[in-house]
Amino acid sequence: MILHVVERALEARNVSRAIVATDDERILECVRAAGLEVVLTSAEHQSGSDRLAEVAALLDEADVIVNVQGDEPLISPLTIERAVDEILSDDEAQVVTACEPVTDAADVLSADVVKVVIDAGGRALYFSRSPIPYPRDAVKKHGSLAEALRLDATLLARFRKHTGLYVYRRAFLLEYTGWPQSCLERTEQLEQLRAVERGATIKVIEAAAPSIGVDTPEDLERVRAILGVMRDKV
């Protein structure tokens, strides 16, 4: 799965280098065997961004650091390109991430699928494992959120699923990862809330294509099936 992620990152036209940051010797050996770049980091990091910052601190020549999470083997290289272009064109953005439409009601209800709400300027207001925004009137009418989603096909369009991609200004990344974990971050177990709670500007772009973050065995089987179809078409 990690190798698929690296391959997709390197396909992005504005990514010049891909480094796997891991604290796992098995991943280290797998990536090395594939002839790709990998760094063994501390096992004490609390989040992926903290791990990323350990490597980014050594990259003095880089102004922008892209974090593609290792559980996103289907991420589109075009999504990465768009996110990098956005941070280069928006001087106010400290972080750029991506989202995509929710097409399955089960994703709205799943705590493994992170939802995001965005303001009129494309900036993240909040990320949550809970269903946000909460359609109060529809739930009151139908008795539960699950039933409301089943009976009202228009509700799904209100939700956006977060994609496991972050593009940081390197200086901000090093500053942000020096902050202590925030209350919201610990509560939801979402590292980006550390930045949200401090008022950082996180710009959210629309992903170029759907992706699936692999958080459960069921996700893994879905991804394997999709990759199998993709191989068959080549």
pLDDT band at 166 (very low <50, low <70, confident <90, very high): very high
Q: Report the alpha-carbon distance of residue 215 to residue 117 in Å, rounded.
A: 21
Instruction: Give the tens place of pLDDT for each residue, 167-186.
Output: 999 999 999 999 999 999 99
> Any idea which of 27-41, 62-76, 90-104 has the lowest mean pLDDT?
62-76
**Is-contact 166 67, C-beta < 8 A?**
yes
Instruction: Give the tens place of pLDDT for each residue, 104-151.
Output: 999 999 999 999 999 999 999 999 999 999 999 999 999 999 999 999
Give the per-residue pLDDT at 169: 97
Instruction: Give the tens place of pLDDT for each residue, 10-67.
Output: 999 999 999 999 999 999 999 999 999 999 999 999 888 899 999 999 999 999 999 9
229: domain CATH number is 3.90.550.10
Residue 234: pLDDT above 80? no
**Is-contact 68 9, C-beta < 8 A?**
yes
Number of domains the chain contains? 1
pLDDT band at 232 (very low <50, low <70, confident <90, very high): low
pLDDT band at 230 (very low <50, low <70, confident <90, very high): low
Q: State the residue range of the domain holding 69.
A: 2-233
Residue 1: pLDDT above 90? no
Structure tokens at 64: 């922008």
Q: Which residues neighbour 178 within 8 Å (Cβ) at sequence distance 6 or greater? A: none
Residue 73: pLDDT above 60? yes
Q: Report the alpha-carbon distance of residue 81 to residue 92 in Å, rounded.
A: 18
